[in-house]
Amino acid sequence: MTVAERTPLVEMRNINVAFGGVHAVLDVTVDLYAGEVIGLVGGNGAGKSTLMRVLSGAHPADSGEILVDSQPVTIRNPRDAKAYNIETIYQTLALADNIDAPGNLFLGREKTTRLGSMDDSAMESETRKVMGRLNPNFTRFKMPVRSLSGGQRQAVAIARAVYFNARILIMDEPTAALGPAETAQVRNLVRQLKDEGIGIFLISHDIHDVFDLSDRISVMYHGRIVDTVGKANVTPDDVLGMIILGKKPGEVSEKELAELELRTQ
Amino acid sequence: MTNEADATPVSGQVQPPARTSLRGLIAQTEIDLRLFGMLVALGAILLTFNILSEGKLFQPTNMVTLAVQATGVAIIATGMVLVIVSRNIDLSVGSLVGVIAMTYALLMTDWMPALGIGADFPFRWAIALGLGIGLGALVGGLQGYIIAYVGVPSFIVTLGGLLSIRGVVWYLSSGAAVSGLDPSFQLIGGGAQGSIGGAATWILGLVGCAAIVALLVNGRRQRRRFGFPVRPMWAEAVIGVLGCVAVLGVAAFANANLWPEGLANRIAVEQNWGPAPDGGWKIPTGFPNPIVLLIGVTLVMTWMANRRRFGRYVYAYGGNPDAAELAGINTRWTILKTYVLMGILCALAAAIASARLNGSTLDVGQSYELYVIAAAVVGGTSFAGGIGTIPGAVLGAFVMQSLAYGLSFIGVNSPGQNVVAGIVLIVAVGFDTFNRRRGS
């Protein structure tokens, strides 16, 4: 069965976002299938993060529609997105530094007792289970996450996204702040989640990450999608060219190519 | 010792090495060192003034007076913690206390009688208190709405509240002082008759002890149920014993405070108690009502801050507003609720203040906002947001009140007290900032 015959997990159609007069996202259409990783690449300010913030409910789109399992949905805030099992790992991690790991993992979705009080023991227990998978050496469950290392904080942010049965996962620069060992760990995790049938949007500056993990690559340039290409059909140089020039490989003139080679040397 | 058996190893759980240093022993009890340090500081302040006043400060009646005077500020400070933790401020509390105190006074002297709710109407005090709480919640909610939903900075909104609400106090009574509250309402303010008595104080103390033990046992059972490491048994015992001794000690102290002889004799005649025993009536007052109210407020507020989602959201917002928003928390509603809570607490403080005065004047609650903020900040609340505890703020209120009371006791006048209070505020926060920087 080819990809085109299945229904996409999520489709974003003709999405527009403008900040004042600046079009951050301009008529963008993307789709994502179960078990697929889409690498979303582009220069700074290309609109990748803004596009994903629309999907995660952090910022409303000015126009366009979103379909989950082919059904049109309205995502007004992060709660709506989470209701459709869309989970996001933000570049900033979005952790409350003064609260411990279980508190952050369950933030906004606390486990409660019958009387409506928070069930801290149950939350800590669940956190120990999920962190045991992601970062087995982690023991500081009672410490504010402020006192954790970058990798540990990342693990908490990832744990939060995967714990709640994400079907659609948005990862915004998940390895930007990590060392080599932790980066490898995150890459393994992405493959594992993909095998479990989760659809992943992966925003990354690292072209190697993208080629290593993605099935398809969407290149954004000044708010538009330049092209969405299968990984097998392009080379990293083609993608770099699209990122920098905002044109598909066939449309690039010899002159531009020469300039590009000068710039990348 | 059942340490090894208790701590079922959890995956990846590294057992802390057995430590014998004092610091290590204290760490194993998991006592909040900040709070403990403040208790020590409070004790040192009281002890110093006791020595300077040649033992007069520790007389039960003086200590009870000191405690009652701290209650108003302490009650509001429990709410100010949540407001400051969520990166806001409330400057309007003093004026709000003023307007609600005046409302109580006018309700009982003019408004309720005009509506046919005369002096003999049952539970007039409760009706007045309920209306005052409603007014506080309404005004707090209005300010909270403007802050959270309209987006005007809290400093501005509550500064406006400070000015305009104080003006309303004047209009309510046309500038006059109002006096003559219901005797039952006056009991909210304490005094010999406004106290719960000896037996109830002992019962309260025993209930407190039982609660401490129950909390420790339950906490331990919860942790064992999930196989988490638990405190060593000796640490549990130390905390339990220390807690119970402290609670019962305070109860005993409150019961050492006796009814004034004249009052006791008068009531004895009125109620036909018969002849006075040798040495006169010795009737323990026990905890004054405002102290009981403060204990209740502290417990409820601590529970809300630590055990309820509302409290978690307040702290999360203070730690990282974006993270709270992205986690799907309704942050505006959370902020609005902190101000509603402030209004309710102001109504309670106003009840104590007006009951103690047996009425209200134009300047009830004047400068409360400053004392309340000082109490919260001395108690460890950080203006950077996300940090602060409710018991800390209550202790902070007692530290500030002990200083003021102790100084007045040794004859320092009110401007002198202010000089000291201001310096202590800066030193306390400076010390705290230094400690945190070193700790991180």
Tens digits of residue pLDDT in A60-72: 999 999 999 999 9
Note whether A107 contacts B11, CB cutoff 8 Å.
Answer: no
Phi-psi region of B357 (alpha: psi -120 to 50; beta: other; left: phi over 0): alpha
Q: How confident is the model at residue B15 (pLDDT cuts 50, 70, 90)?
A: very low
Assigned token pair, A107: 């933030």
What angle do helix axes B289-307 and B331-357 make, rounded to 10 degrees?
A: 170
Chain center to CA of A105? 17
Using a CB–CB cutoff of 8 Å, tell me whether A139 touches chain B.
yes
Chain A residues inside the 8 Å CB shell of B317? 96
- Listed ranges A2-6, A103-107, B30-34, B430-434; the one with the highest mean pLDDT: A103-107
pLDDT at residue number B128:
95
More confident of the two residues B322 and B24? B322
Using a CB–CB cutoff of 8 Å, tell me whether B312 touches chain A.
yes
pLDDT of B313 > 50? The answer is yes
Helices and strands, number each (H, E), in chain A: 9, 10
Using a CB–CB cutoff of 8 Å, tell me whether B82 touches chain A.
no
Chain B residues inside the 8 Å CB shell of A88? 326
Alpha-carbon distances, residue B366 vs B109, B141, B166, B173, B372 (angstroms): 23, 21, 9, 17, 11
Thinking of the domain A1-85+165-234, which architecture would CATH place it in? 3-Layer(aba) Sandwich (3.40)
Across chain B, mean pLDDT equals 90
From A92, A121, A137, residue closest to B222, measured CB to CB: A121
Instruction: List the beta bridge partners of residue A219.
Output: A41, A227
**Distance of residue B222 Cα from the nearest chain A Cα, in angstroms:** 7
- Residue-wise pLDDT for B51-74, tens only, equals 999 999 999 999 999 999 999 999
Note whether A107 contacts B315, CB cutoff 8 Å.
Answer: no
* Segment B280-303 mean pLDDT: 94
Contact A174, A37 (CB under 8 A): no
pLDDT of B14 > 50? The answer is no
Assigned token pair, B27: 């760490």
Buried b / exposed e over B241-255, threshold 16 CB at 10 Å, is eebbeebeebbebbb
The CB density around residue B158, as the number of other CB atoms within 10 Å, is: 29
pLDDT at residue number B3:
40
Domain with CATH 3.40.50.300 in chain A: 1-85+165-234
Chain A residues inside the 8 Å CB shell of B387? 98
pLDDT of B4 > 60? The answer is no
The helix (run of H) or strand (run of E) holding residue A201 is strand A199-203
pLDDT of B2 > 50? The answer is no
Using a CB–CB cutoff of 8 Å, tell me whether A6 touches chain B.
no
| A1-7 contacts at long range (C-beta below 8 A, 24 or more positions apart) | A3/A33, A3/A36, A6/A33, A6/A34, A7/A69, A7/A70
The CB density around residue B27, as the number of other CB atoms within 10 Å, is: 14
Strands (E), B316-395: 359-360
Chain B residues inside the 8 Å CB shell of A85? none
From A58, A99, A117, residue closest to B326, measured CB to CB: A58
Distance CA B230, CA B15 (A): 11
Assigned token pair, B245: 């001794």
Chain B residues inside the 8 Å CB shell of A57? 328
Distance CA A171, CA A227 (A): 20
Low-confidence ranges of chain A (pLDDT < 70): 1-5, 257, 260-265
The CB density around residue A51, as the number of other CB atoms within 10 Å, is: 27
Contacts of B54 (CB under 8 A, 6+ apart): none
Note whether A110 contacts B312, CB cutoff 8 Å.
Answer: yes
pLDDT at residue number A184:
87
Cβ burial, residue A136 (10 Å; 0-12/13-18/19+):
exposed
Instruction: Give every strand in the sheet of A10-19, ordered side by side.
Output: A22-32, A10-19, A63-68, A71-73
Assigned token pair, A186: 């995150």
Contact B296, B365 (CB under 8 A): no
Distance CA B290, CA A98 (A): 33
Nearest to A218, CA basis, from A23, A51, A18? A51
Distance CA A12, CA A18 (A): 16
Contact B75, B119 (CB under 8 A): no
- Residue-wise pLDDT for B173-206, tens only, equals 999 999 999 999 999 999 889 999 999 999 999 9
**Distance of residue B26 Cα from the nearest chain A Cα, in angstroms:** 17
Residue B179 is classified by DSSP as: E
Chain B residues inside the 8 Å CB shell of A104? 323
State how beta strands A199-203 and A216-221 pair.
unpaired
**Residue at token pair 């300039």:** A259
Distance CA B395, CA B380 (A): 10
Note whether B319 contacts A96, CB cutoff 8 Å.
Answer: yes
Distance CA B104, CA B102 (A): 5
Helix, strand, coil proportions of chain B in percent (round to 5)? 70, 0, 25
